[in-house]
Amino acid sequence: MDAPNITIEEKILALKGPILIFGGSGFIGANLLNTILNYRQDCFAIVRTTASLWRLELLKINKENIIYCDITDRQTLATIFNSLKPKTIFNLAAYGSNSEETDSDIIYQTNLIGTLNILNESN
């Protein structure tokens, strides 16, 4: 028996919110955020710096849906989790995916420690 066709809207509306997108200013994160915000407003881009906001600005993402956080800072991360109590998390945060990002300490801190911090806070 074939599964019924489920629309993108139905899939997005079925997600439990609030929704956090870590790495929300990257190509995939910004487009995921934009798509979700077409159907609901309880989705937030988690970004490290203001320097990376150009995609979100081009998409005209509301500033209320952008939160600044360095995922290697557990205290700031805990504050976000305690205040928003997210139910769905997309972790698209990464460092080292661009050829100019070569600092191995930052790669380790962001990709490993940052991910562990997100996992620890989500429990």
Q: Torsion angle, CA of 118/65/82/28, rounded to 10 degrees?
A: -10
Distance separating alpha carbons of residues 32 and 66, to the nearest angstrom = 13
Q: Which residues have a Cβ under 8 Å from the Cβ of 57 and sit 6 or more positions away?
A: none
Q: What is the pTM of this model?
A: 0.91
pLDDT tens readout for residues 23-81 = 999 999 999 999 999 999 999 999 998 777 999 999 999 999 999 999 999 999 999 99
Residues in the chain: 123
Beta strands in the chain (DSSP E): 19-22, 43-47, 66-68, 88-91
